[in-house]
Amino acid sequence: MGAPLMPLTERMTCSQARAEISTTVLPLCEGLPYHQARRLREDALLVASELTANALRHGGGIARFSACTHEHALVIQVSDHSSRQPLLLPHDPAMPGGFGWLMVRQLARSVSIEQHGAGKTITAVLDAGSSR
């Protein structure tokens, strides 16, 4: 996709990522019917929250975060310090959680992982006009 990564401090939080997404998604929501704009914003917030939380929890921290618009889509990129790939875990009703990566893959039009050095960058692209 080639969207630029914007370096931020490693102390970035999920809340800061959500704030960035809220600001970035606004131009994409203009002109959309209310239900589509609301769905795009909610999906974007969920994807950003999951990717940043996973980088903090499993990836050794957030190395970079970026959110930008590109051709009627929202591009979210999160880099961390681990080369470990996200896992799709089998459902275990006795264990809470484990749905984040599946949710990201279902909400985004596309998801890619790029390895670099000891870390990785996950890019999720959400369509502005999608109606899943």
Q: Parse the chain into domains and list their residue ranges.
A: 14-127
Q: Residues 31-42: what's their mean pLDDT?
A: 87
User: Largest alpha-carbon pair distance within the chain?
Assistant: 44
SS3 content of the chain, % helix, strand, coil (to 5): 35, 25, 40
Q: Which of 10-14, 67-71, 96-100 has the lowest mean pLDDT?
A: 10-14
* CATH ID of 14-127, from 3.90.79.10, 3.30.565.10, 3.10.20.310, 3.60.110.10: 3.30.565.10
Cα 55 to Cα 77: distance, rounded to the nearest angstrom:
11
Residue 81 predicted with pLDDT over 60? yes
Confidence at residue 12, expressed as pLDDT on a 0 to 100 scale: 67
> Cα–Cα distances in Å, from 31 out to 34, 84, 125?
9, 40, 20
> Cα–Cα distances in Å, from 67 out to 83, 93, 109?
22, 34, 15
Q: 26: closest CA among 128, 119, 122? A: 128
Helix axes 100-107, 34-58, angle to 10 degrees: 140
Cα 3 to Cα 70: distance, rounded to the nearest angstrom:
8
